[in-house]
Amino acid sequence: MSERWARALLSSYRLAGGAVYPLIGTYVAWRASKGKEDRTRRRERYGLAGRERPSGPVIWVHAASVGETIAVVPLVQHIVGYGVNVVLTTGTVTSAHVAEERLGKGVIHQYVPLDLKPAVSRFLDHWQPDLAIIAESEIWPMTILELGSRRVPQVLVNGRLSDRSFKSWKKRAYLAEALFENLAHVVAQSEADGERFQALGARPVTVSGNLKVDTVPPPAEEKALASLQRQIGRRPTWAAVSTHDGEEAVAAEVHAMLRGRHRGLITIIVPRHPERTDAIAAQFTARGLNVARRSAGAKVTADTDILLGDTIGEMGLYLRLTEIAFVGRSLTSEGGQNPLEPAMLDTAVLAGRNVQNFREAYQRLIDSGGAKLVRDRDMLAGAVNFLLVNEVARHEMMAAGAATVDQMRGALAITLRALEPFIQPLVVKARLEGSR
């Protein structure tokens, strides 16, 4: 299919992660992001740059949200180490915070432009990237076509296609081919993902494993960690992290079911979206639960039931306070969240059954004994109770998870090899311009 026809077909559609929506979907996505972006930098969403372009080659790296940003941090660090400029785009305030925390001034951060031709064109006119690296499943048609028309190589790294996305793309195979033929290389997370990309017309495809495995564990501020550990003392704890709507209520119910058996039980609840925590805290209080909100600096006291982790960038802190973690978006929502960070931090991992987006990671952890899937609230309560009671079984599960993560490492090295033909000419160019 010619680019002209592809543009005509896509002029009234937006395909993101394999789902197809009318153009109004772009506006809806923008509206949905309100509250998750920096209002002072909203112009960047329209392609209006907030910084000057540096001299020399520029690589544009895009990572939509927190998980993708964390995954590409080691990759970006390697590129910066080669002496090549990086413009990193993300879509939320939280991911921008993670980029600043982990990469500092080593990269230029911008919010990603909306997938509309004027915004994308302004962005590309200003930054003039020599290479575009896209993380995971961010398939934005106008951006891909604009990069293609400018002959900018595009590489998808840590690529994945969910069951739902793949089915949606297959129904529109002609559109998929028109877009994926613009990708110079796809580096997929798993063999299944690689086969799916190939079936949709992507060439060439390399399977790397998951870049999230090659990241360092999320950090924790030492003084804050020591303070909370003193406040909790020897009280039993468990955590429900990256929770979505409905899962906080389930965690509260599990707490109520177990606190009679485990005196002084502390349940740590970390919602995926902190902006929801006012309503969540109100729900807990209405249930008669005593809540300590981290954002308010509240201390864990003798009568605290719930430590509500409503801060940004402190997942490493919360996970270090417990040895048992339920990972959300898996009971009341679908897709799952990343189980690798809890496993890295020697935590026994529990989750619901809806973990399609992290199928391979969960399968490896389950096979090794590092994770267990639960069907519902009662099964979750039973699993948490068992692990609290059985120290040996809990520690075996923790050790199995950590060992599994170690065995899964290696994706970064494979990804760097796949990127070498695209990056090395830019490294040479940067050195030549720097020597003038």
| H-helix segments, 233-369 | 247-258, 277-286, 315-319, 340-344, 359-368
Number of structural domains the chain divides into:
2
Show the domain range for 64. Answer: 41-214+414-431
What does the pLDDT read at residue 37? Answer: 63
Measured CA to CA, the distance from residue 339 to residue 327 in angstroms comes to 7
Residues 152 and 76 grouped into a single domain: yes
Segment 5-39, tens digit of pLDDT: 455 455 444 444 434 433 434 443 444 444 456 88
What does the pLDDT read at residue 12? Answer: 40
Residues 262 and 237 grouped into a single domain: yes
**Relative orientation angle of helices 66-81 and 411-434, to the nearest 10 degrees:** 50
Q: Name residues whose C-beta falls within 8 Å of residue 365's C-beta, 6 or more positions apart in sequence.
A: 339, 343, 349, 371, 400, 401, 404
Measured CA to CA, the distance from residue 130 to residue 141 in angstroms comes to 19
Residues 363 and 396 grouped into a single domain: yes
The confidence band for 235, taking pLDDT boundaries of 50, 70 and 90, is: very high
Residues 227 and 209 grouped into a single domain: no
CB atoms within 10 A of CB 233: 10
In a domain, 33, yes or no: no
Measured CA to CA, the distance from residue 269 to residue 249 in angstroms comes to 10
Residues 235 and 88 grouped into a single domain: no
Measured CA to CA, the distance from residue 78 to residue 207 in angstroms comes to 20
Residues 253 and 138 grouped into a single domain: no
- b/e per residue 186-221 (b: at least 16 CB within 10 A): bbbbbebbbebbeebbbeebbbbbbbbbbbebbebe
In a domain, 14, yes or no: no
In a domain, 20, yes or no: no
What does the pLDDT read at residue 433? Answer: 84
Give me the CATH number covering residue 129.
3.40.50.11720
Segment 155-173, tens digit of pLDDT: 999 999 988 899 999 999 9
Measured CA to CA, the distance from residue 412 to residue 79 in angstroms comes to 12
Residues 195 and 270 grouped into a single domain: no
Residues 186 and 231 grouped into a single domain: no
Measured distance between the N- and C-terminal CA atoms of the chain, rounded to whole angstroms: 44
Measured CA to CA, the distance from residue 349 to residue 364 in angstroms comes to 12
Segment 211-227, tens digit of pLDDT: 999 999 999 999 999 99
Order the strands of the 108-111 sheet from edge to edge.
Answer: 108-111, 85-90, 58-62, 131-135, 154-159, 185-188, 205-207
- b/e per residue 391-425 (b: at least 16 CB within 10 A): eeebeebbebbbebbeebeebbebbbebbeebbee
Residues 327 and 421 grouped into a single domain: no
In a domain, 2, yes or no: no
Give CA angle at 175 (174, 178), nearest 5°.
90
Residues 150 and 234 grouped into a single domain: no
In a domain, 154, yes or no: yes
Least confident range from 8-12, 318-322, 382-386, 406-410: namely 8-12
Segment 70-88, tens digit of pLDDT: 999 999 999 999 999 999 9
What is the greatest pairwise CA distance in the chain? 73
In a domain, 241, yes or no: yes
Nearest to 86 by CA among 68, 66, 103: 103
Q: Is 18 left (phi over 0), alpha (psi -120 to 50) or beta?
A: left
Tokens of 51: 């910084």
Give me the CATH number covering residue 297.
3.40.50.2000
DSSP letter for 44, please.
G
Segment 363-379, tens digit of pLDDT: 999 999 999 999 999 99
Measured CA to CA, the distance from residue 45 to residue 29 in angstroms comes to 12
Residues 244 and 194 grouped into a single domain: no
Q: Is 401 left (phi over 0), alpha (psi -120 to 50) or beta?
A: alpha
Measured CA to CA, the distance from residue 349 to residue 351 in angstroms comes to 7
Say if residues 347 and 324 touch (Cβ distance below 8 Å).
Answer: yes
In a domain, 1, yes or no: no
Residues 207 and 233 grouped into a single domain: no
Tokens of 87: 């413009």
Catalytic residues: 68
Nearest to 158 by CA among 414, 427, 403: 414
| Predicted model pTM | 0.88
In a domain, 59, yes or no: yes
